[in-house]
A and B are shown apart, each in its own frame.
Chain A
Amino acid sequence: MVGLVLISHSARLAEEAVALAVGIAGDDAPIHPAGGTDDGGLGTSIAKLETAVAAVDQGDGVVILMDLGSAVLTARTFIEDRTDVVLADAPFIEGAISALVTAGTGADLAAVVAAAEEARTIGKLC
């Protein structure tokens, strides 16, 4: 099954985003937060990202969703030497839920990334 990682500047935001996604999309697929710096401050940590990816990696690939700024740069730096980990260019919450639902069906890596990125095109008021 494809795994998901949510990387945010805030440890609590990443944890709550995971809880929200699991609450709505279920826990069929693995998902893990990677929020904040190593000392718990605002920012991102490649060590936390490595731990999170390892926690959800079942051999079928991992999709990372980022909030902004250094989360994007840290994730991009991380995947430099990983072909089985893909970044989704998607809204953080909506993309996570969409990706988790899809991953839970046993879909492959490309389908999970596509599901996350599709969430960009869904309007909230139309």
Chain B
Amino acid sequence: MDTEFFLRWIAAVTDRVRAERDHLTDLDRAIGDADHGSNLDRGFTAVEEALAATPPATPADVLVTTGTTLIRKVGGASGPLYGTMFRTLGRSIGDAPDVTADALADAFSDALAAIAKLGSAAEGDKTMIDALAPAVPAMRTSFDAAAQAALDGAEATTNLRARKGRASYLGERSVGHQDPGATSMALMIDALRAV
């Protein structure tokens, strides 16, 4: 997977975020502060501009630029979290002009650890980790398996009680709503299939 592959992935994520913007915000309205879709859309629009302004030379450049831009532009909790994910993916891959499937799976494993550390969160807390964590081992098999695991993980957050983030203030009342962060995470992993 070369620089072009990662540019296509980020472009696909940007399109999906734009298309799902209102849906993500609606999910966030139920248990959060109703800004997840618009925050991510703003972030990925800035990513699109940054990648167009300075064409990246390597896969890592694509990912680190994406992460740094999200950290600077999103404004909500998802900025530092997704920013850390993409930056960790980039740093983990290193200078390789062509990334193997194994190297990308390793990088996603590192990204999961980095997000868990930054957010002091674990699987089952009703966060984006509930979509990412099951996708990481599945990525050793295929993008299809990873996407399915992420989508299933996101769907399963509906029955969880939130222990992190704004929704945790709701306690039991957070049960019955799918987590917006897990939903956007599944969307990003699912976008790998179409690249």
B-binding residues in A (CB < 8 A):
37-38, 41-47, 69-70, 73-74, 76-77
Looking at chain B's contact residues, is the secondary structure mostly helix, strand, loop, or mixed?
Answer: helix
Partner of A73, one of B33, B35, B119, B166: B119
Q: Is there contact, CB below 8 Å, between B77 and A46?
A: no
Q: Which residues of A contact B72 (CB under 8 A)?
A: 45-47
A41 to B35, CA, bound (A): 11
B84: Cβ under 8 A from any A Cβ: yes
B77 → chain A closest CB, angstroms: 4
Residues 21 to 63 of chain B near chain A (Cβ within 8 Å): 33, 35, 39
**Are B75 and A76 neighbours in the complex by a CB distance under 8 Å?**
no
Q: What B residues does A70 contact at CB under 8 A?
A: 75-77, 79-80
Q: Is B124 an interface residue (CB 8 A)?
A: no
Residues of chain A contacted by B153 (CB below 8 angstroms): none
Task: Give B7 Cβ to nearest chain A Cβ, in Å.
Answer: 24
Q: How far is the CA of A76 from the CA of B80 in the complex (A)?
A: 9
Known A69-B165, A70-B77, A73-B79; 14 more pairs at CB < 8 Å = A37-B75, A38-B75, A42-B33, A46-B72, A47-B72, A69-B77, A73-B119, A74-B71, A74-B79, A74-B80, A76-B80, A77-B80, A77-B83, A77-B84
For residue B194, CB closer than 8 A to chain A, the reply is no
Decide: B166 and A69 in contact? CB cutoff 8 A: yes
B81 and A73 within 8 A (CB): yes
Residue contact B80 to A73, C-beta cutoff 8 Å = yes
Query: B80: which A residues are within 8 A, CB to CB?
Result: 46, 70, 73-74, 76-77
A74 to B71, CA, bound (A): 8
Q: B119: which A residues are within 8 A, CB to CB?
A: 73
